[in-house]
Amino acid sequence: MSEDDGPEYDIDFRANPGEYEIGRGEQDVFKCEPYKSELLPLWSIKTLDSAEDGAAEIYEKFQEYRDADEFPGMDLARKYLQMGWTRAMRYAKYPGGQKYEDGEERKAQEWYDDEKREIAVVYKQHLDRLRDDGTYRRRRQEWDKE
């Protein structure tokens, strides 16, 4: 996989799991099908209610992928939970979620938006549960070795 692959890979990662690379952070979260189509509609940081529902549903999808031994799905669920946490934190600390203004990094506020902070906590709790999952940890180690 390279940046030349364009906006989406022409790969079904469920049918071809060996093609999946973990990557850094939230890399490829919008590119890996069919998982993107299954997870992105669940993801939201708009309101606390939508975030609570979305994070719980993404965690449920993680459990489904785990039970089916679909490591790419498990890892992409992790990335969506991580993205919920990091994006909500950015909105919690910076007006409009804008970390930079006129090319200069703004000073983070504590807390600019209390609801976004609560949303970040919701995603972080689910993310921590996923990261602590023994099956995920074992499969991730195996995947790193392959």
Q: Which has the higher per-residue pLDDT, 29 or 127? A: 127
> How far apart, in whole angstroms, are the C-alpha atoms of residue 73 and residue 75?
5
pLDDT confidence band for 42 (50 / 70 / 90): very high
- Per-position b or e across 78-111, b if 16+ CB within 10 A of its CB: bbbbbbbbbbbbbbbbbeebeeeeeeeeeeeeee
Q: What confidence score (pLDDT) does residue 8 get?
A: 65
Q: Which has the higher per-residue pLDDT, 46 or 112? A: 46
pTM above 0.75, yes or no: yes
Q: By C-alpha distance, which of 79, 80, 83, 85 is closest to 140?
A: 79
Burial class (CB within 10 angstroms; exposed 0-12, middle 13-18, buried 19+) of 125: middle
